[in-house]
Chain A
Amino acid sequence: MEQEATRDAYGKALVELGRQNPDIVVLDADTSSSTRTNWFAKEFPDRFFNFGVAEANMLGYAAGLALAGKIPFVSSFAVFGSIRAYEQIRTSICWPNLNVKIVLTHAGISVGEDGASHQAIEDIATMRVLPNMSVIVPADANETRRAIFACCEHKGPVYIRLGRAKFPLLPDAGFEIGKARIIKPGNDISIIACGLMVFEALKASDMLGKDGISARVVNMSTIKPIDKEAIISAAKETKAIITAEEHSIIGGLGSAVCEVLSEKAPTIVKRIGIQDVFGTSGKPEELLSYFKVDAKAIYKEAITLVNRNGSI
């Protein structure tokens, strides 16, 4: 199966965008070889700025560059680019509603061996709560490329969350900010997932299929603004919902889905995510099963839910 890391797709997309649009500038804080912004730096050295280890300042510059009419793409590791500079993002970028694109890599536990300090599992929650901010978690490299182009067209602050590891490519289903996509139909249960968990959700759906359970898989790549219609149809057309994210169960995709459902279509929801603990060192695949955020966890939760509902 063909594999590509979302950050690699980002690096390539940036270079392409840079050729098309001279207003694009790229900022990094000494992580450019990891975030792949060094590919842009190589082709456009005059439009690439390295700030060294000083993330807060970098986000302030991004605000200023946006005020001067540029389209800044700012990159770092997810922990440092989001939470380290959180108040700068809030006050200097989101409050004045500036056109800054924050694309952070190495999000989630799939960073693996680096351990808790480097595993951003609170970034979706913290970015989602900021007014004016859009939050996008692409499922694979193809969707990343499309999301990067789409966010360049969009006016206003955007956060795009990327990983580190290589992951399989899903069938290319296009991308539009704010639109979820059903990537596998089903009518017993819905799995709403984002990021690399979409792949795990598909695996879980296949496992459930063997038990005669038809599980819909929804790729909710925009966490904000969230696609309410897709959530409500899932609630109406299937009997239960599972959310799956490689992020804390507090405040992320699962919470966002529950917020919509509790007001519009109360439904039983089980949230798959990190259970309010910090990460730990290990191989990415090991960690997914250790923290019970993998296909097996989704499968088990689905079986319990379906039994509770008394169907099948």
Chain B
Amino acid sequence: MDEIVSKIADTSRKMRRLIIEMLSLAGSGHPGGSLSSVEIIASLYFHIMRHNPSNLLWEDRDRFILSKGHCCPTLYAALALSGYFPMEELKTLRKLGSILQGHSDRLATPGVEMSTGSLGQGLSCAAGIALGGKLSKKDFFVFCLIGDGENQEGQVWEAAMSASHYKLDNLICFLDYNKLQIDGRVSDIMNIEPVVDKWRAFGWEVMEIDGHNIGEIIEAVDRAKEIKGKPKIIIANTIKGKGVSFIENKVEWHGVAPTKEEAERALKELE
């Protein structure tokens, strides 16, 4: 286990570097929420999920839906490192004709399961896939990642209600609880607390972890997989901008790309 954790920690560091490079080359994008979700996405792609980059349409693959689509650089980094497309492509993020669109586009990028970017829609889609999997008697899991600001959307609660109604125990959602959104602190803009109680009241199994602790992420998913009869949410406490000191926990860094100099500073920290 320790070996797995340290391997994923290494990969996470690599992904952070790629995110910074990608965003700085693109000149726009979302560093804060991309950096906060690195360990979650790394653990999924490099340990937890059953997937095969050379067989995109493998029916039994686990699915990952990045509902907070603005954080696609993290997903792109994981997909490139997994071999879904050449690393070179990462340089084209957000450029005309690129396979890497500004928000996730399933028709453009190999490995992206769903087009997202309008917050609040992904969990319904993930639940739909989970329902479809059950109907076809498949044993794949559907993972979904939502943001804490995103959690304010009414549709998320519609999805929460229906997923427990349909007993979608093959659905595991992560909440990237980095406590910040665009306009400020989530608790000031529109408080989602008590978030554990809310999800529990909607019929979900709720776990709370440190979202940068790879061991905790893996353990939570292992436990989640064992719980039958209801959907599971892992509330992952994270730090927005994690890994880069001057980006960490700064609301201004939600949606601005680092300049060349800032990127160099960040990369040095991530060596």
Majority SS of interface residues in chain A? Answer: helix
Give 29 pairs: A residue, B residue, CB < 8 Å, sorted on A: A25-B132, A46-B135, A51-B162, A56-B121, A56-B158, A57-B124, A57-B159, A59-B124, A60-B128, A60-B155, A61-B125, A61-B128, A62-B128, A64-B130, A65-B131, A65-B132, A65-B135, A66-B128, A67-B129, A68-B133, A69-B136, A70-B132, A87-B118, A88-B121, A91-B116, A91-B117, A92-B124, A92-B125, A96-B114
Q: Which residues of B contact A49 (CB under 8 A)?
A: 131, 166
Q: Could you list 20 further interchain pairs (A-B, Cβ under 8 angstroms) beyond the known A64-B124, A68-B131, A68-B132?
A: A46-B135, A47-B135, A54-B161, A56-B121, A56-B155, A56-B158, A57-B124, A57-B159, A57-B162, A59-B124, A60-B159, A61-B125, A67-B63, A68-B129, A69-B59, A69-B132, A70-B132, A91-B117, A91-B118, A95-B105
A63 at interface (Cβ–Cβ under 8 A)?
yes
Highest count of chain A CB atoms <10 Å: which of B113, B125, B127, B158: B125
CA distance A71 to B134 in the complex (A): 15
Q: In chain A between 80 and 116, which residues have their CB closer than 8 angstroms to a CB of chain B?
A: 87-88, 91-92, 95-97
10 closest Cβ contacts across the A-B interface?
A64-B128, A68-B132, A60-B124, A57-B158, A61-B128, A54-B158, A64-B129, A96-B115, A64-B125, A65-B132
Say whether A64 contacts B127, CB under 8 Å: yes
Q: In chain B between 118 and 172, which residues have their CB closer than 8 angstroms to a CB of chain A?
A: 118, 121-133, 135-136, 154-155, 158-159, 161-162, 166
| Interchain nearest-CB distance for A70 vs B (Å) | 5
CA distance A62 to B127 in the complex (A): 10
B106 CB contact (under 8 Å) in A56, A59, A65, A96: A96
B256 at interface (Cβ–Cβ under 8 A)?
no
Say whether A65 contacts B128, CB under 8 Å: yes
B124 CB contact (under 8 Å) in A52, A61, A70: A61
CA distance A290 to B135 in the complex (A): 49
Say whether B114 contacts A67, CB under 8 Å: yes
Q: Which residue of B lies closest to A47 (CB)?
A: B135
CA distance A49 to B135 in the complex (A): 12
B107 at interface (Cβ–Cβ under 8 A)?
yes
Q: Which residues of A contact B114 (CB under 8 A)?
A: 63-64, 67, 92, 96
State the interface size on chain B (CB cutoff 8 A): 33
Total A-B residue contacts, Cβ distance less than 8 Å: 104
Q: Which residues of B contact A60 (CB under 8 A)?
A: 121-125, 127-128, 155, 159
B115 CB contact (under 8 Å) in A47, A66, A68, A92: A92
Q: Which residues of A contact B130 (CB under 8 A)?
A: 64
Say whether B162 contacts A61, CB under 8 Å: yes
| Interchain nearest-CB distance for A30 vs B (Å) | 12
Render B163-198 as a binary contact track against A, CB cut-off 8 A, 1 for contact. 000100000000000000000000000000000000
Say whether B125 contacts A63, CB under 8 Å: yes
| Interchain nearest-CB distance for B129 vs A (Å) | 4
Q: Which residues of B contact A46 (CB under 8 A)?
A: 135
| Interchain nearest-CB distance for B151 vs A (Å) | 15
CA distance A92 to B63 in the complex (A): 16
Say whether B125 contacts A67, CB under 8 Å: yes
CA distance A86 to B32 in the complex (A): 30
| Interchain nearest-CB distance for A243 vs B (Å) | 34
Q: Which residue of A lies closest to B129 (CB)?
A: A64
CA distance A91 to B213 in the complex (A): 33
| Interchain nearest-CB distance for B25 vs A (Å) | 25
| Interchain nearest-CB distance for B87 vs A (Å) | 25
B132 CB contact (under 8 Å) in A56, A59, A64, A88: A64
Q: Which residues of B contact A52 (CB under 8 A)?
A: 161-162
Q: Which residues of B contact A67 (CB under 8 A)?
A: 63, 113-114, 125, 128-129, 132
Q: In chain A between 230 and 262, which residues have their CB closer than 8 angstroms to a CB of chain B?
A: none
